[in-house]
Amino acid sequence: MATIKVEEHGVAVAVKRTKKDLFIELTVAGKLTHDDYMVFIPVVEKALKEAKGLKVNLLIDMTAFKGWKELKAMVDDAKFGIKHLNDFDRIAAVGNKKWEEVAMKAWGAVSKAKVKFFKNREKALAWLLK
């Protein structure tokens, strides 16, 4: 009997809005594809477009992220980051790999956003919401 290997991957998006704030949470899992980006980017961009005048915070949970399945997905990631470089007030990333921490420090160095890396989701949320 043949074994079927299922590779789970994707980006879950949660958008929460109050009168003063917009909170976007991205949970990434597995090896991302170009199609994954084509699904979540329009959701985030619509929320950002409607958020004029609001404080926008972003939580990225990368604890289940395993990289990119294809180069086009990595390019999508870079394009999204560059396009929205200054659209956020605070960005908290949760991960468990050193390169993720380094990447977030680099993003923080070129963005107006306050960017911080965490290994604990609850601490990241507390920092974002203070």
Distances (CA, A) of 92 to 13, 35, 38, 70, 71: 15, 24, 23, 25, 25
- pTM of the predicted protein model: 0.91
**CATH superfamily of the domain spanning 10-129:** SpoIIaa-like domains (3.40.50.10600)
**Cα 4 to Cα 22: distance, rounded to the nearest angstrom:** 41
Asked whether the predicted pLDDT for residue 3 surpasses 90, the reply is no
What distances in angstroms separate CA 128 from CA 2, 6, 11, 89, one per listed residue?
47, 34, 20, 9
Give the tens place of pLDDT for each residue, 44-101.
Answer: 999 999 998 899 999 999 999 999 999 999 999 999 999 999 999 999 999 999 999 9
pLDDT at 5: 67
- Radius of gyration of the chain measured on its C-alpha atoms: 15
**Mean pLDDT score of the chain:** 94
Percent pLDDT > 90 in the chain is: 89
Q: pLDDT band for position 129 (50/70/90)? A: confident
